[in-house]
């Protein structure tokens, strides 16, 4: 029998979860009791439901995951949790955790990830709480956790409880008068089963192998040394027969091998360079915890995530899962380009616009109102789980290509011919000081608060845009009626173009300014043009009006998508 101890702790006032959980430098989490406090607060926030509950624990394999798993085991045991399901070696992708929670009806999960942020002793760590629907905790829950951290006096743990998480095994321990079980499992198995239920694997297999009618469709997958490695090896390698050399960076590493595991044109440039050589028909990359994806076609033809969402929406019936469930509705986060809105209109389907962050899709899915959703930040997913899902997005594209028999570029061109093209770009000014970043936002607020701003003409070169509406985006959930405010400053123009400014809510320190720009073209001669060229007037208008350089000293953004 093992004993419970209670230790007095000191309070940390900075444990407010952001867009996606609590994210800080590893060194912050390593402070004495910092991690323990947050984990204790998660269990306290459960109230009586914690008694005999089952939680899933795992993460993206980054530095400090294993240490935190062993802390969670000790604290859970002392807080009357009945059972913990732990991914072997602490590995569990975010989408696979969401699936596990739903499939086995567990009470939720503690997900150890800082997603696409770099890893290693000097980089980032994160703790995210997911609820029993499999999705990230909504604001009410994260707020409750935060409130608890501000007055926490002690935490409980079982000091002698040590479990070997390198072996798949189940261990039952007597803790005080209760039984506590830790089950270390293979984190890949159930997820692979789910993917095979959703997609037409035989057709995808034929696509990537080639047939008498069609040459082999060459695919290359880059896991950026994140958690998707073992999933990709099993799904693309074992199940679909993609060669080993086409599944790269597929061993999860604590520091992601020095890579920044964010699948975009800047950080996945190795993949982009490889695909640009013209051998591969498709390249795909995933982020650290496996929920993001980037899709590129032959010669590195870039598929903007907002377009990817629209194309998937338009072709969803080609995927067996949606043939079965029907299409219940679409959604996107506010800054995401509105290409999908046109598909929704065409299909007479609902389309919802929610704040940034996957947690806002959950209620709609639970209420059966939403089948497919996405964000411009390389997140795409469906109601098969309650997280975005990188591997799912890749399989969805492969499934659609297998049925349409076209290249990625042809699919996009055909889409634009029908719907017109929404040009979209995002500028990120990463690692700014907080104060100047706020000044940039205040600059815009003071502009849009002026009643004369509506109707104002903003020009650059020979282009002029008339302001139709400007606000700070807020959202009322149609299911639980909760109101979320301050979700981004929007300037909407009469021709449907948009400028949006937001501060990132996922950084671990400082501030990141995000500038989103969108315009809509119906003239086919523009379709193959570079978004940066088409959007230049709007970009310049946005940069000038925000005085971003004046405030932050930044001449250029750090990342352009
Ligand atoms: C970013 C993305 C957002 C995404 C989140 C978690 O949040 O912009 O779309 O949901 O990461 O992956 P941000 O840093 O902008 O708050
Ligand atoms: Zn992620």
Calpha distance 155→8 (Å, rounded): 7
Q: What is the mean pLDDT of the chain?
A: 96
Pocket of ligand 1 (CB under 6 A): 19-20, 115, 333, 356-358, 375, 377, 379, 504-506, 514
- What is the predicted pLDDT for the residue at 230? 98
CA separation (Å) from 431 to 21, 445, 506, 551? 19, 22, 12, 14
Catalytic (active site) residue 154 = no
Contacts for 475-479: CB closer than 8 Å, 24+ residues apart: 475/334, 475/353, 475/354, 475/355, 475/360, 477/360, 477/363, 478/352, 478/363, 478/364, 478/369, 479/363, 479/364, 479/366, 479/367, 479/369
Q: Would you state the structure tokens that stand for residue 190, as one six-digit string?
A: 């159930």
User: Which-ligand-closest: CA of 291?
Assistant: 2
Other C-beta atoms closer than 10 Å to the C-beta of 275 total 25
CATH fold label, 5-187? Alpha-D-Glucose-1,6-Bisphosphate; Chain A, domain 3 (3.40.120)
User: Which-ligand-closest: CA of 506?
Assistant: 1
- What is the predicted pLDDT for the residue at 506? 76
Q: From ligand 1's centre to the CA of 521, what distance in Å?
A: 27
What CATH number labels 421-560? 3.30.310.50
Mean pLDDT of 293-307: 97
Calpha distance 329→317 (Å, rounded): 13
DSSP 8-state secondary structure symbol assigned to residue 31: S
Range(s) for CATH 3.40.120.10 in the chain? 5-187, 190-419
Query: What is the pLDDT confidence band of residue 509, given thresholds at 50, 70 and 90?
Result: confident
Q: From ligand 2's centre to the CA of 371, what distance in Å?
A: 20
* Atom 8 of ligand 1, nearest CA residue: 377
- What is the predicted pLDDT for the residue at 510? 86
Answer yes or no: is pLDDT of 320 > 90. yes
DSSP 8-state secondary structure symbol assigned to residue 561: -
Calpha distance 98→93 (Å, rounded): 9
Mean pLDDT of 357-364: 92
Query: Which position has the token pair 């979700």?
Result: 487
User: In this predicted model, what pLDDT tens digit does every residue of 397-423 receive, in sequence order?
Assistant: 999 999 999 999 999 999 999 999 999
User: In this predicted model, what pLDDT tens digit does every residue of 51-68 receive, in sequence order?
Assistant: 999 999 999 999 999 999
Catalytic residue among 93, 98, 115, 504: 115
Question: How many CA atoms lie within 13 Å of 320's alpha carbon, on the beta-carbon side?
Answer: 14
Answer yes or no: is pLDDT of 139 > 90. no
Calpha distance 512→426 (Å, rounded): 12
Answer yes or no: is pLDDT of 436 > 80. yes
DSSP-assigned letters across all residues of 321-338: HHHHH----EEEETTS-T
- What is the predicted pLDDT for the residue at 19? 77
What CATH number labels 190-419? 3.40.120.10
More confident residue, 245 or 496: 245
Query: Which position has the token pair 């997603």?
Result: 115
DSSP-assigned letters across all residues of 336-360: S-THHHHHHHHHT--EEEE-SSGGG
Answer yes or no: is pLDDT of 536 > 90. yes
Range(s) for CATH 3.30.310.50 in the chain? 421-560
Q: From ligand 2's centre to the CA of 94, what distance in Å?
A: 7
Question: How many CA atoms lie within 13 Å of 64's alpha carbon, on the beta-carbon side?
Answer: 24
Calpha distance 203→197 (Å, rounded): 13
Mean pLDDT of 466-476: 96
Q: Find, among 555, 518, 514, the residue nearest to 535 by Cα.
A: 518
- What is the predicted pLDDT for the residue at 359? 87
Percent of the chain's residues with pLDDT above 70: 100
Can you state the angle between helices 305-315 and 390-404, rounded to 10 degrees?
Answer: 50
User: In this predicted model, what pLDDT tens digit does every residue of 438-456 receive, in sequence order?
Assistant: 999 999 999 999 999 999 9
Query: What is the pLDDT confidence band of residue 198, given thresholds at 50, 70 and 90?
Result: very high
Q: From ligand 2's centre to the CA of 317, what distance in Å?
A: 27
Calpha distance 392→291 (Å, rounded): 9
User: Which-ligand-closest: CA of 290?
Assistant: 2
């Amino acid at each position: 029998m093992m004993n419970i101890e209670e230790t007095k702790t000191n309070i940390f006032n900075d444990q407010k979860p952001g867009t996606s959980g609590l994210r800080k430098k590893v060194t912050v989490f390593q402070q004495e009791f910092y991690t323990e406090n947050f984990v204790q607060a998660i269990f306290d926030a459960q109230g009586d439901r914690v008694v005999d509950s089952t939680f899933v624990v795992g993460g993206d394999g980054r530095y400090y995951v294993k240490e935190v798993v062993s802390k969670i085991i000790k604290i859970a045991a002392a807080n009357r949790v009945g059972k913990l399901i732990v991914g072997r070696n602490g590995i569990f992708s975010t989408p696979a955790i969401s699936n596990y929670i739903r499939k086995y009806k567990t009470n939720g999960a503690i997900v150890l990830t800082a997603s696409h942020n770099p890893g290693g002793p000097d980089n980032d760590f994160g703790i995210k709480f997911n609820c029993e629907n499999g999705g990230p905790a909504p604001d009410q829950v994260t707020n409750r956790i935060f409130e608890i951290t501000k007055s926490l006096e002690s935490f409980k743990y079982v000091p002698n409880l040590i479990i070997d998480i390198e072996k798949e095994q189940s261990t039952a321990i007597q803790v005080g008068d209760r039984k506590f079980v830790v089950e270390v499992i293979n984190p890949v198995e159930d997820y692979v089963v789910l993917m095979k239920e959703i997609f037409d694997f035989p057709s995808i297999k034929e696509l990537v192998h080639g047939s008498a009618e069609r040459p082999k469709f060459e695919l290359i997958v880059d896991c950026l040394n994140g958690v998707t490695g073992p999933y990709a090896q099993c799904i693309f390698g074992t199940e679909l027969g993609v060669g080993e050399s086409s599944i790269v960076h597929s061993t999860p590493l604590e520091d992601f091998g020095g890579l920044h595991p964010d699948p975009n044109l800047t950080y996945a440039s190795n993949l982009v360079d490889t695909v640009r050589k013209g051998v591969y028909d498709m390249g795909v990359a995933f982020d650290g915890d496996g929920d993001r994806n980037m899709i590129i076609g032959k010669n590195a033809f870039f598929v903007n995530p907002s377009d990817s969402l629209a194309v998937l929406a338009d072709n969803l019936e080609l995927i067996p899962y949606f043939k079965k469930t029907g299409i219940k509705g679409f959604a996107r986060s506010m800054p995401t380009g509105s290409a999908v809105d046109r598909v929704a209109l065409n299909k007479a389907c609902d389309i919802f616009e929610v704040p940034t962050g996957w947690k806002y899709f959950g209620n709609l899915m639970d209420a059966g109102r939403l089948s497919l959703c996405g964000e411009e930040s390389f997140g795409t997913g469906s109601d098969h789980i309650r997280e975005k899902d990188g591997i799912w997005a890749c399989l969805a594209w492969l499934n659609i290509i297998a049925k349409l028999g076209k290249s990625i570029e042809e699919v996009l061109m055909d889409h634009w011919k029908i719907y017109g093209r929404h040009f979209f770009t995002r500028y990120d000014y990463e690692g700014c000081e907080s104060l100047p970043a706020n000044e940039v936002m205040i600059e815009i607020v003071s502009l849009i608060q002026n009643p004369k701003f509506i109707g104002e003409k903003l020009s650059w070169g020979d282009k002029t845009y008339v302001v139709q509406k400007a606000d700070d985006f807020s959202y009322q959930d149609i299911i639980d009626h909760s109101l979320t405010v301050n979700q981004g400053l929007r300037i909407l123009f009469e021709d449907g173009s948009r400028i949006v400014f937001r501060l990132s809510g996922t950084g671990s320190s400082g501030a990141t300014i995000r500038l989103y720009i969108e315009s809509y073209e119906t003239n086919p001669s523009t379709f193959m043009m570079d978004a940066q060229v088409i959007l230049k007037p709007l970009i310049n208008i946005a940069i000038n009006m925000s005085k971003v350089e004046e405030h932050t000293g930044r001449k250029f953004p750090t990342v352009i998508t």
